[in-house]
């Protein structure tokens, strides 16, 4: 085997053999295949695609590059969720304890934000004392005792993906659907969960801007999960406007706690409950309904125990940004657009996100929404509140909002987009 022959095969639209795929992933992980050679192969995949069999084998090779976790010793079945990323997407925070309160175990391996999309670990690290880094033994202990854990993936899971993702990020090949699907699914399958629900976002604030591309990605990932013996379904969900009323780290934790207390924004509650039901069905658990667990306080109990088990104080005050700036409605009428990407970019520039993985984030930074599309607003009244510790960021953060907010005349017909657009699997 040699890298050049594999690159030429995919360049010429040939189907890669199992042996070629296994060799190139292993050799790249070991450093035998150079970055520039793997970049050329990734570009060939972007331009020419992969068959289902190729994508499945590519995924299997990335799984084989590292360890696989085993939750078979747990007293209850496992279920996990993965979101392709959005603005205000705090769903993992209330979802994991909710599903655990209903009878399944949730080993949720999450990541950090990059660019305009927020990261679950960044949000939770705004809770004083909370730890994202757990050993495998610590993770299993929390799962046995609490039923849910949210933590960072260890270096041993799919190391080939970690190396390849960093390369794709700087070579213009992130958009290749076979590589997106195999990247996500290699980690989730190696994680060892019994059931997986995918939340594939669609819209301006999502990676997939249109529903056809989102449906292709979702179908590819569901097929990969099925091929590897993991019960997998996907929901396509709207990301044309932010989820809930906050985009930021501590701001989203606060809102998540409101949901667990039986309140919170309707769209966050709807999606959390829908995903919980999918996870429980995939795990074969048919006990308490998620809506009941939100009302009776059992989901909140699991949240508090989960946070405490990872060193956090569930009663500690959350960080608050030192400075605020209010954006008012430009006119009186019906708010018909509050663009998710614009709000996400604004929150990122305020300090809630990072441009590089090494960058720090501000726990209190972000955007608070006072209205959502479909609401009537009045000229001069608060529409958004921007939060940051560094007020010199305000001018830079406000720029993306220009053109991202539309207020139509009173009485203008408006049909809100449903939260859940489709289901696959």
Average pLDDT, the chain: 95
What CATH number does the domain containing 190 carry? 3.40.1030.10
Domain end marker among 259, 279, 309: 309
Q: What are the start-end ranges of the E strands in 84-213?
A: 106-110, 148-152, 195-202
CA-wise closest residue to 341 among 122, 142, 88: 88
Domain-located, residue 392: yes
Q: What pLDDT, on a 0 to 100 scale, did the predictor assign at position 70? A: 92
**What average pLDDT does range 166-184 have in this prediction?**
90
On whether residue 281 sits in a domain, the answer given is yes
- How do residues 238-258 score in pLDDT, each as one tens digit? 999 999 999 999 999 999 999
Closest listed residue to residue 395, CA positions, set 340, 349, 353, 344: 349
- Find the distance separating the first CA and the last CA of the chain, reported in whole Å: 37
* Domain identity same for 86 and 233: yes
In a domain, 424, yes or no: no
Quick one: which H or E segment has residue 42?
helix 35-48
Q: List the CATH number of the domain containing 392.
A: 3.90.1170.30
Residues 91 and 34 in one domain: no
Are both 178 and 266 inside the same structural domain?
yes
198 and 344: one domain?
Answer: no
Domain assignment of residue 65, yes or no: no
Domain count for the chain, please give it.
3
Q: Is the dihedral of CA 327, 403, 200, 40 positive or negative?
A: negative
169 pLDDT above the threshold of 90: no
For the stretch 15-52, pLDDT in tens is 999 999 999 999 999 999 999 999 999 999 999 999 99
Q: How far apart are CA 364 and CA 265, in angstroms?
A: 20
> Do 331 and 296 lie in a common domain?
no
Which pLDDT value is given to residue 174?
84
Same domain, 142 and 285: yes
- Please indicate, yes or no, whether residues 133 and 259 belong to a single structural domain of this protein: yes
Range of the domain at 385: 323-408
Both 13 and 133 in one domain: the answer is no
Which of 261, 287, 309 lies at the terminal end of a domain, its last residue?
A: 309
298: CB partners within 8 A, 6+ apart: 101, 288
137 and 281 fall within a common domain: yes
CATH number, domain of 37, equals: 1.20.970.10
| Residue 337, domain member (yes or no) | yes
Q: Which of 253, 274, 309 is the last residue of a domain?
A: 309
Give the distance from CA 347 to its chain's centroid.
16
Nearest to residue 253, comparing CAs of 271, 240, 268?
268
Reported as a single tens digit per residue, the pLDDT across 354-413 is 877 778 899 999 999 999 999 999 999 999 999 999 999 999 999 999 999 999 999 899
Residue 267 sits in the same domain as residue 243: yes
| CA distances (Å), origin 249, targets 3, 44, 113, 123, 207 | 43, 38, 10, 4, 20
User: Around Cβ 19, how many Cβ atoms within 10 Å?
Assistant: 11
Q: Is residue 166 part of a domain?
A: no
314: pLDDT confidence band, cut at 50, 70 and 90? very high
pLDDT at res. 3: 97
179 & 234 share domain: yes
Rounded distance, CA 343 to CA 321, Å? 17
Residue 113 has pLDDT above 90, yes or no: no
Cβ proximity of 96 and 106 under 8 Å = yes
pLDDT digits over 259-303, tens only?
999 999 999 999 999 999 999 999 999 989 999 999 999 999 999
Catalytic positions are 82, 161, 168, 183, 187
Instruction: Tell me whether residue 379 is exposed, middle or buried, using C-beta atoms within 10 angstroms of its C-beta: 0 to 12, 13 to 18, 19 or more.
Output: exposed
Task: Quickly tell me which residue has 């175990």 as its tokens.
Answer: 105
Do 402 and 333 reside in the same domain of the chain?
Answer: yes
Residue 119 is assigned to a structural domain of this protein: yes
- Residue 130 covered by a domain: yes
pLDDT for residue 118? 81
């Amino acid at each position: 085997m040699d890298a050049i022959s594999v690159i030429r095969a995919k360049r010429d639209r040939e189907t890669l053999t199992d042996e070629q795929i296994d060799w190139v992933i292993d050799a790249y992980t070991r450093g035998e295949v150079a970055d520039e050679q793997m970049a050329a192969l990734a570009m060939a995949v972007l331009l020419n695609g992969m068959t289902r069999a190729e994508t499945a084998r590519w995924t299997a090779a990335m799984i084989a590059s590292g360890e696989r976790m085993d939750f078979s010793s747990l007293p209850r079945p496992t279920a996990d969720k993965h979101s392709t990323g959005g603005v205000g997407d705090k769903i993992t925070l209330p979802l994991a304890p909710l599903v655990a309160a209903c009878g399944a175990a949730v080993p949720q391996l999450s990541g950090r934000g990059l660019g305009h999309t927020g990261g679950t670990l960044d949000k939770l690290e705004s809770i004083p004392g909370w730890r994202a880094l757990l050993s495998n033994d610590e993770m299993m202990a929390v799962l046995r005792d609490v039923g849910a854990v949210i933590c960072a993936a260890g270096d041993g899971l799919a190391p080939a993906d970690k190396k390849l993702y960093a390369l794709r990020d700087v070579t213009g090949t992130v958009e290749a659907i076979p590589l997106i699907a195999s990247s996500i699914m290699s980690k989730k399958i190696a994680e060892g969960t019994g059931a997986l629900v995918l939340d594939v976002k669609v819209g301006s604030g999502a990676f997939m801007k249109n529903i056809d591309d989102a449906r292709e990605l979702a179908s590819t990932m569901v097929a990969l999960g099925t091929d590897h013996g993991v019960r997998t379904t996907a929901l396509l969900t709207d990301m044309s406007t932010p989820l809930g009323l906050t985009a930021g780290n501590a701001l989203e934790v606060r809102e998540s706690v409101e949901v667990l207390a039986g309140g919170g924004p309707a769209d966050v509650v709807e999606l959390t409950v829908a995903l919980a039901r999918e996870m429980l069905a995939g795990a074969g658990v048919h006990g308490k309904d998620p809506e009941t667990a939100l009302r009776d306080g059992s989901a909140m109990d699991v949240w508090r125990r989960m946070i405490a088990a990872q060193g956090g104080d569930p009663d500690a005050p959350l960080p608050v940004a030192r400075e605020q700036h209010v954006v008012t409605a430009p006119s009186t009428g019906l708010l018909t657009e509050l663009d998710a990407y614009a709000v996400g970019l604004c929150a990122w520039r305020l300090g809630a996100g990072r441009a590089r993985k090494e960058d720090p984030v501000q726990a209190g930074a972000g955007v608070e929404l006072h209205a959502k599309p479909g609401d009537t607003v009045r000229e001069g009244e608060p529409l958004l509140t921007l939060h940051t510790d560094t007020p010199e960021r305000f001018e830079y953060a406000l720029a993306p909002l220009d053109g991202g907010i539309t207020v139509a005349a009173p009485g203008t017909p408006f049909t809100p987009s449903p939260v859940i657009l489709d289901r696959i699997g």
